[in-house]
Structure 1
Amino acid sequence: MQMNLQLHHVVQDVTGATGMKIIRSIVAGERDPEELARHRDVRCKASSETIRDALVGDYQNEHVFELTQALALYDFYQTQVAQCDERIEVVLRQLHANAAPVSTPLPAALRRSRQSNDFSFDVRAELYSMLGVDLTQIHGFGPYLALKLVAECGADMSRWPTVKHFTSWLCLAPGNKISRGKVLSSKTRRSSSKAAAALRLAAVTIGKTDTALGGFYRRLSARIGKAKAVTATARKIAVLFYNTLRYGMKYVDPGAEYYEERYRQRVLNNLTRRADSLGFVLQAKPT
């Protein structure tokens, strides 16, 4: 920005293919905007002319030196991340080295797109070989979240007798502060659990999807607020995680429309029952 280069305004991610090629070319000594724009990747939404105009600036030696230092640090951290991925892969293979091989093949992934923070190896396949189930079939679960929850909670869910014990351990279940039979508070307990924080982030993400869990989040959010809806949705995801690992449950999403129809039918049944208790008959509005 100090050199009046507006690359970050025309390229969505400067650490992507187009941005990194241009930055490396600048560090190497290229200053011609026309030549720099030739590094545009075919997947980049901005045109070559737009990128060329954004690269007309005032190149100062001290700022180019600072950019060179930043690029060197970026490459160093990328190397460190790659080494961490290699270490995680080795540990996962050691964990399932003595496990019985899974007879069924790995199911197809729900999401085909690759994220910028993905692992350098197929973590889905490694987790499937170790657990025997594919956690990423649950909406809101990606390979990173699945690995993080397994690291925090383990793979043996029998340590918790029921799913209620598990959600209470995560501090996602309502509290039970009761005195002389009177409920004083049912707020969830505060927790520093990394697993609970990850589940809450997944709940926020899944609230934007056209799934049954997304419909559940949106309905609760409109009724009781977003904070409580996030906790309730996170608890639902934790229940699916527990049942999948302990009982091998296969999650099949019925869709948001199915969930909304079930909710509508439940409301109608309640209204019909109340009208009947008061001596009335509930009738549909004529079309």
Structure 2
Amino acid sequence: MATRTRRTLDIAYPNAAGIDIGSASHYVAVPADRDDEPVREFKSFTCELDNLVTWLTACNVDIVAMESTGVYWIPVYELLESRGFTVHLVNARHVKNVSGRKSDVLDCQWLQQLMSYGLLSGAFRPTDEICALRAVSRQRDMLLRYQARHVQHIQKALSQMNVQLANVISDIMGETGQKIVRAIIAGERNATTLAKLKHARIRASEEEIVKSLQGNWRSEHLFTLKQAMSLYDAYGVELMACDQQLEAMLAVLQKHAGAQDKPQRPSRGKNAPRFDLRTYLIGLCGVDLTRINGIDTATALKVISETGPDLSRFRSAKQFVAWLGLCPGTKISGGKILSSASKRTTNRAAQALRLAAAALRTSQSALGAYYRRMCARLDRPKAITATAHKLARLIYAMLTKGGEYIDQGQDYYEERYRQRVMHHLARRAEKLGFKLTPVSEAA
């Protein structure tokens, strides 16, 4: 009678430690044979963190696992990494403990046990230089959101005074809109004088603008308008400082010689950085990501600041797209597909690629034709995700293999799609005992 052997888990990392991150203190667990007190609590003060590192070094720990709790993990992570430890930032879903037994001590011990058996994998985190670039890029996005809120306040103040400027000018924060609003704040009330400030490209006539500027100039609404414009300008100054910082950081990260030989020009777009971002991105990546239809300099900056130009951490394009959360899900039970929806994620690079995919709605490129075909087959959110999936694969191929993206055009894509459809129809007809004949030959 054959004996059944029981498979056991082997220790993969005998020198592993687990840290339960908190806002005020951190609980650390090391192997039980390393110290008489294998679980200790350390406050979140810097001096206490130094003691934590000293204790881990004395216990011969070389690998540490911790959860990404808020932003409290960042000082611990950076300190441990600078001291030579291998730090794994793990997903909280992967370390869920048995229900009913939840405490800080048990959590750090559970992390240490899972890490020692090699059951945890660290999350992707780019290099320190890219992390610094990401922080400034996210700060710039936050300033843009705050500035946009004050644009809404300006529109609200104008509407309360029944100044219907937004109904005749598409963008009140454009050149014409700002001239008129600033003149109102300066004390001008004559609608005819204000209408003469319009730019030649404004389609609305002066008579329409005069009608829209006939409102009730109440003092409280004028005060609100003045304060909203002052805050808008204040955020504009901080955005210029962010652009200068981004330009300085990108200049340091230049890796490819000759990238700055091209004449520099400001990036297009109302909210785009006011320097030649495209040239700096080419110098950083070695390829021009903006050649991909739908991806502008702002989208390319968002992706590079979140992932970095080195994607060697991802073994394949499939793994990269899965990390972005742009691939179909695999929720299968009993051989039945319960759901194939992509996982919910707050990945900023994926959000930028989705916006780039939605911008291909009227593009006459091959990617535009692909997006419209996906819209015909699926609903629009799924079509956007599928197109963003394709954009992510193109970015991965360009950053890992080099080369330039060449758009074959809408006609080329439609012809290739027609050939594929005809090929599959011919094979299906052959299996059914028929043969497809073109209309011209039959006639």
Contact 1:34 1:52 in 2 (8 A): yes
Whole-angstrom distance in 2 between the partners of 1:264 and 1:10: 46
Structure 1 residue 55, shift from structure 2 partner: 1.3
Moved more, 171-180 or 206-215: 171-180
Distance 1:234 1:187 in 2: 14
Local SS of the residue matching 1:158: coil
SS at match of 1:207: helix
Query: Which moved further from structure 2: 136-145 or 200-209?
Result: 200-209
Tell me what 1:51 maps to: 209
- Counterparts of 1:166 and 1:249 in 2: how far apart (Å)? 19
What is the Cα deviation at residue 163 of structure 1? 1.0
Question: In structure 2, which of residues 307, 322, 330 is the aligned counterpart of residue 168 of structure 1?
Answer: 322
- Give the 3 Å change call, closer, same or farther, for CA 61–185 of structure 1 in structure 2: closer
Q: Secondary structure at the match of 1:243?
A: helix
1:71 to 221, 224, 229: 229
CA distance in structure 2 between the aligned counterparts of 1:79 and 1:133, rounded to whole angstroms: 32
1:131–1:155: 8 Å Cα contact kept in structure 2? Answer: yes
Q: Distance in 2 between matches of 1:273 and 1:108?
A: 54
Aligned-residue Cα RMSD (Å) equals 2.4
The 1-side partners of 2:223 and 2:326 are apart by 50
Q: Is 1:199 matched up with 2:199?
A: no
Aligned length: 283
**Larger-Rg structure:** 2
Structure 2 residue 384 is matched with structure 1 residue 230: yes
Shifted more, 100-109 versus 246-255: the winner is: 100-109
Structure 1 position 49, deviation (Å)? 2.2
Which residue of the other structure, out of 194, 199, 214, is the alignment partner of 1:41? 199
Map 1:18-167 to 2 at 5 A: 18-96=176-254, 99-102=255-258, 114-167=268-321
| Cα drift, residue 23 of structure 1 | 0.8
CA shift at 1:189, angstroms? 2.3
2:176–2:197 CA contact under 8 A, matched in 1: yes
**Matching of residue 273 in structure 1 with residue 431 in structure 2:** no
Asked if 2 retains the 8 angstrom alpha-carbon contact of 1:107 and 1:134, the reply is: no
**What code does the residue aligned with 1:81 have?**
L
Contact kept, 8 Å, 2:260 with 2:279, in 1: the verdict is no
Give TM-score scaled by structure 1 length.
0.91
- Name whichever of 270-279 and 71-80 sits farther off: 270-279
Contact 1:106 1:128 in 2 (8 A): no
User: 1:75 Cα shift?
Assistant: 0.8
1:63-86 per-residue CA deviation (whole Å, 9 max, x = no partner) reads: 222211111111111111111111
* Unmatched tracts of structure 2, length 5 or more: 1-158
In structure 1, the partner of 2:144 is none
CA shift for structure 1 position 106: 5.5
Q: Is the 8 A contact 2:161 2:221 kept in 1?
A: yes
> For the Cα contact (< 8 Å) 1:163–1:239, is it kept in 2?
yes
The answer to whether 1:212 aligns with 2:370 is no
Q: Which protein, 1 or 2, shows the higher relative CO under an 8 Å CA cutoff with sep ≥ 6?
A: 1
Deviation at 1:178, TM superposition (A): 4.9
Q: For residues 349 and 267 of structure 2, what CA distance do their matches in structure 1 show? A: 24
Which moves more between the two structures, 11-20 or 203-212? Answer: 203-212
**Contact 1:133–1:244 (CA under 8 A) maintained in structure 2:** yes
Question: Secondary structure of the residue that 2:399 maps to in structure 1?
Answer: helix
Residue deviations 1:107-147, cap 9 Å, x none?
999xx993211111111111112222111111111111100
Within-5 A mapping of 1:233-272:
233-272=387-426
Conserved 8 A contact 2:260-2:280: no
Residue 81 of structure 1 aligns to a residue whose secondary structure is helix
What is the distance in 2 between the residues matched to 1:10 and 1:169?
A: 45
Query: What code does the residue aligned with 2:257 have?
Result: P
Answer yes or no: is the 8 Å Cα contact 2:309–2:399 preserved in 1.
yes
* Percentage of matched positions with identical amino acids: 46
- Are the aligned partners of 2:314 and 2:320 in contact in 1 as well (CA < 8 Å)? yes
- Per-residue CA deviations over 1:222-257 (Å, capped at 9, x if unaligned) read 112222212111110001111111111311111222
Check conservation: 2:259, 2:280, Cα contact below 8 A: no
